[in-house]
Homo-oligomer: A and B are copies of this chain.
């Protein structure tokens, strides 16, 4: 079997942890498997390098920043190969360039264009364990690029796809995907399986275990993903196309605190007003999520929508500056809200899920400010002070006791 195993920065933060990971890789190898391990930079290395750069130039070119930052992974793969050699194994470290990872030219947030696996194959044929630098590649000018947020996950999934690996294991500090954040919801439990689509919704809704891009890639190439803990031998969660049906139609609950709502009151009720308003925001790369529009009565209507908390000040300023042009009466905003979402592939064919959610919130006296739905998820906006209680109530309703049985009917 061919395993691709990805380990994050905290898993290789010091010599002791490097050996923990090395032993895990060695175990897989000793069982007769081929292993390609993908690593991030060691713990604090990234921060230290950013600080070094800041001392010299707080605003350096992204090309040079990539040149600097990519040394972090290069160091961690070299050290891991040394650790495996110490354990008596043949290991070879490879840079992003050496694993043949060609990317787009956008330094700091490059996309993978292609992977030429020749070098990896030739190392595997010589029975070497391959330790590959995650997060990095080279562009068409042969300059080093970094892949941006979640880049090492993406490297691992892309390698697994190209090498047609039997397993792509993502090692992290939690032991799998949970039905909700265990820090918030006490009764949250680990899922054995989840579908790519459900995982995508959860990832984009604030579950931070896997980067959205890596899940998209896994779905596209049907890479069998396993999310598991680098600290324990627990089995983890398998992410695949068709996950087996759990006891309810929803597989998880996500909570996103990075959300704020803006209400535009009394905008003229004529065609093109929404377009004018949202294109103003789009030009400044402000992403608008849930949009709610009142039914126009007479000359005016109201529009409310959500943005991320970071974008809120700019969005409010842009709209206020263009108040006359857009011709609305008033603007208000609220950044003390939270988005709670339930995700489940079985939802589409079971309309009862939405009403179960509303019922649970109503029973708990939680006011719903906005609602948004897709094929496999329902999101509601609520007051942030009620978020934790609401998450627990909703989770209990779907995952424990008689409610779960209700939903299965």
Residues in B whose Cβ lies below 8 Å from that of A299: none
Is the Cβ of A68 less than 8 Å from the Cβ of B57? no
Is the Cβ of B77 less than 8 Å from the Cβ of A67? yes
Min CB distance, A140 to chain B, in Å?
13
Assess whether A64 is interfacial by the CB under 8 Å rule. yes
Is the Cβ of B67 less than 8 Å from the Cβ of A93? yes
Assess whether A284 is interfacial by the CB under 8 Å rule. no
Within 8 Å by CB of A79, from B18, B52, B79, B82, lies B52
Work out how many copies of this chain go into the complex.
2
Is the Cβ of B67 less than 8 Å from the Cβ of A83? no
Is the Cβ of B49 less than 8 Å from the Cβ of A75? yes
Assess whether A212 is interfacial by the CB under 8 Å rule. no
Within 8 Å by CB of A56, from B82, B93, B144, lies B82
Residues in B whose Cβ lies below 8 Å from that of A86: 56-57, 60
Tell me if A's interface is mostly helix, strand, loop or mixed.
Answer: helix
Closest to A80 in B: B56
* Chain A residues with a Cβ closer than 8 Å to the other chain, count: 37
Is the Cβ of A64 less than 8 Å from the Cβ of B49? no
Assess whether A142 is interfacial by the CB under 8 Å rule. yes
Is the Cβ of B57 less than 8 Å from the Cβ of A67? no
Within 8 Å by CB of A61, from B19, B82, B143, lies B82
Closest to A19 in B: B56
Is the Cβ of B71 less than 8 Å from the Cβ of A83? no
Is the Cβ of A15 less than 8 Å from the Cβ of B85? no
Instruction: Please measure, in the bound complex, the distance between the C-alpha atom of A109 and the C-alpha atom of B86, giving whole angstroms.
Output: 22
Residue-wise interface mask of A (265-301) relative to B, using a CB-CB cutoff of 8 A (1 in contact, 0 not): 0000000000000000000000000000000000000
Within 8 Å by CB of A53, from B68, B77, B79, lies B79
Assess whether A81 is interfacial by the CB under 8 Å rule. yes
Q: List 15 A-B contacts (CB under 8 A).
A: A15-B55, A15-B56, A18-B56, A19-B56, A60-B85, A61-B81, A63-B92, A64-B85, A65-B78, A67-B81, A67-B93, A68-B74, A71-B75, A95-B144, A97-B97
Given contacts A57-B83, A67-B78, 7 further A-B contacts (CB under 8 A): A53-B82, A57-B82, A61-B81, A63-B92, A65-B78, A67-B81, A71-B74
